[in-house]
């Protein structure tokens, strides 16, 4: 057991270290963007520094990263479009801006973009308006159907016990 003074000192040092590391990660995203580092690399650097993807996007938006380029870079990193949209929506990026940027920067299908926006929590009316501005036929009647849960592979789930359940073999009786 450490004396109270040493325990408090170690807690203070750990707090200072955490503050420095968090500040360093924040500075990495902003400074990388300011230095013109490609956004794919900015995202990779932020993740490597221990930031969540959502924190990287948040800091990138605050640093002035262009929405379309950010979407394209995140897709290149293998991030799901609905997760990208959710992070952008959390930063207050407009649904129409986000969807238009995804269409222009990544060339994605309007239905895919709309479904991702809905999965990320966008409002149906906003998604329909964005689809209309993208000249999507049927924008006014677009509806979102969440994906069905995956089908369980054959053999998954409860299985009956093998064999017939009988004991077989020699069992001693109480009379023996």
Check: CB of residue 81 under 8 Å from CB of residue 113.
Answer: yes
User: Which region among 23-32, 68-77, 133-142 has the lowest average model confidence (pLDDT)?
Assistant: 23-32
Q: Which residue in 27, 111, 20, 104 sits closest to 67, CA to CA?
A: 104
Give the span between the Cα atoms of 68 and 106, in whole angstroms. 8
Check: CB of residue 31 under 8 Å from CB of residue 48.
Answer: no
Instruction: Quick: pLDDT tens for 49-95.
Output: 999 999 999 999 999 999 999 999 999 999 999 999 999 999 999 99
Give the span between the Cα atoms of 162 and 107, in whole angstroms. 53
Q: What is the pTM of this model?
A: 0.70
């Amino acid at each position: 057991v450490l004396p109270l003074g040493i325990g408090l000192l170690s807690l203070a040092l750990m707090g200072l270290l955490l503050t420095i590391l968090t500040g360093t990660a924040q500075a990495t995203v902003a400074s990388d963007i300011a230095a013109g580092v490609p956004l794919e690399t900015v995202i990779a650097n932020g993740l490597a520094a221990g930031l969540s993807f959502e924190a990287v996007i948040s800091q990138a938006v605050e640093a002035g990263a262009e929405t379309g380029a950010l979407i394209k870079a995140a897709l290149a990193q293998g991030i799901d479009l609905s997760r990208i949209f959710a992070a952008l929506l959390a930063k207050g990026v407009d649904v129409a801006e986000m969807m238009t940027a995804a269409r222009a920067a990544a060339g994605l299908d309007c239905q895919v973009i709309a479904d991702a926006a809905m999965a990320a929590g966008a409002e149906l009316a906003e998604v329909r308006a964005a689809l209309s501005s993208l000249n999507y036929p049927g924008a006014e009647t677009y509806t979102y159907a969440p994906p069905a849960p995956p089908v369980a592979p054959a053999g998954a789930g409860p299985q009956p016990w093998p064999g017939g359940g009988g004991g077989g073999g020699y069992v001693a009786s109480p009379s023996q």
